[in-house]
């Protein structure tokens, strides 16, 4: 496993060993993760995303050279970009660090039998991405809407539906701070001072 936070590695190792797993190596960077995987050829490589060298890069390299090794990401990030990039890199699972670690060993065993290690909520996000949104609050043809990323548009649409910042954060698996950052970015892009002004601009076709 690889994570640049020693305290997290210790907790994860404890949970895995308590669940009957053997941890054959620990690393703190993507490069160390690749080297450890090459040396030990583990059944599963458990990787953080935002560590030096990028965990997604490590996942891609491990899957390219060690096809028998399954890769599972263990991360704090609930961002769609990280989720989908991990899956494109060949990850067989995507678990959040907020997950109950007592279930981690079982999740990894499931991966070895062909199951995806992923919360139902994240599976729903994947299905939504492929299905596309069922409806849009804002038009997509206006210059204003075209300035927003898909995540920014999603945040603004939910807020326009009357959800609170906390409710949007819970629905999208983000922190409230991240939601506020997205809103601030939208206001700056649209050159407006508040959310209501942004909603008016975005509703214009």
pTM score over 0.85: no
Asked whether residue 95 carries a pLDDT value surpassing 90, the answer given is yes
Q: How confident is the model at residue 150, as a pLDDT? A: 78
Q: Which residue has the higher pLDDT, 9 or 137?
A: 9
Instruction: Please report which confidence band the pLDDT of residue 135 belongs to, taking 50, 70 and 90 as the band edges.
Output: very low
Bridge partners of 44, per DSSP, are 70
Q: How confident is the model at residue 119, as a pLDDT? A: 77
Which CATH number is 104's domain given? 3.40.50.2300
Same domain, 25 and 122: yes
Q: How confident is the model at residue 134, as a pLDDT? A: 46
Single residue among 129, 152, 173 that ends a domain in this structure: 129
- Pick from 50, 19, 53, 20: nearest CA to 36: 53
Same domain, 106 and 20: yes
Same domain, 156 and 80: no
Determine the Cα–Cα distance for residues 19 and 149; give it in Å rounded to an integer: 41
Determine the Cα–Cα distance for residues 188 and 185; give it in Å rounded to an integer: 5
Enumerate residues 6+ apart whose C-beta is below 8 A from 55.
Answer: 2, 30, 33, 47, 48, 49, 73, 75
* Residue 101 and residue 109 in contact, taking contact as beta carbons nearer than 8 Å: no
Q: Is residue 135 part of a domain?
A: no
User: Residue 192 belongs to what domain range?
Assistant: 143-203
Same domain, 151 and 89: no
Q: Is residue 137 part of a domain?
A: no
Domain count of the fold of the chain: 2
- Cα torsion 101, 105, 106, 108: sign: positive
Same domain, 178 and 101: no
**% of the chain beyond a pLDDT of 70:** 90
Same domain, 173 and 77: no
Q: How confident is the model at residue 23, as a pLDDT? A: 96
Chain segment 69-87, per-residue pLDDT in tens: 999 999 988 777 888 889 8
Q: Is residue 136 part of a domain?
A: no
Same domain, 148 and 111: no
Same domain, 78 and 110: yes
Chain segment 108-123, per-residue pLDDT in tens: 999 999 888 887 777 7
* Residue 116 and residue 139 in contact, taking contact as beta carbons nearer than 8 Å: no
Q: Is residue 138 part of a domain?
A: no
Chain segment 1-21, per-residue pLDDT in tens: 999 999 999 999 999 999 999
Same domain, 117 and 187: no
Single residue among 105, 129, 153 that ends a domain in this structure: 129
């Amino acid at each position: 496993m690889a994570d640049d936070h020693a305290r997290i590695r210790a907790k994860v190792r404890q949970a895995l060993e308590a669940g009957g797993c053997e941890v054959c190596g620990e690393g703190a960077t993507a490069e160390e993760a690749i080297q450890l995987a090459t040396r030990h050829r583990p059944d599963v490589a458990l990787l953080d995303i935002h560590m030096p060298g990028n965990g997604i890069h490590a996942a891609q390299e491990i899957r390219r050279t060690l096809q028998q090794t399954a890769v599972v990401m263990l991360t704090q990030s609930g961002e769609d970009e990280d989720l989908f990039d991990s899956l494109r890199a060949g990850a067989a699972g995507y678990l959040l660090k907020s997950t109950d670690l007592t279930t981690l060993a079982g999740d990894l065993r499931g991966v070895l039998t062909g199951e995806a290690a992923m919360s139902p909520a994240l599976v729903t996000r994947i299905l939504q991405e492929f299905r596309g949104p069922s409806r849009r609050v804002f038009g997509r043809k206006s210059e204003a809407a075209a300035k927003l990323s898909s995540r920014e548009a999603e945040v603004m649409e939910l807020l326009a539906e009357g959800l609170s910042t906390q409710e949007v954060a819970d629905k999208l698996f983000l922190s409230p701070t991240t939601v506020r950052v997205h809103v601030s970015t939208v206001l700056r892009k649209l050159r407006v001072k508040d959310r209501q002004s942004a909603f008016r601009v975005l509703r214009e076709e």
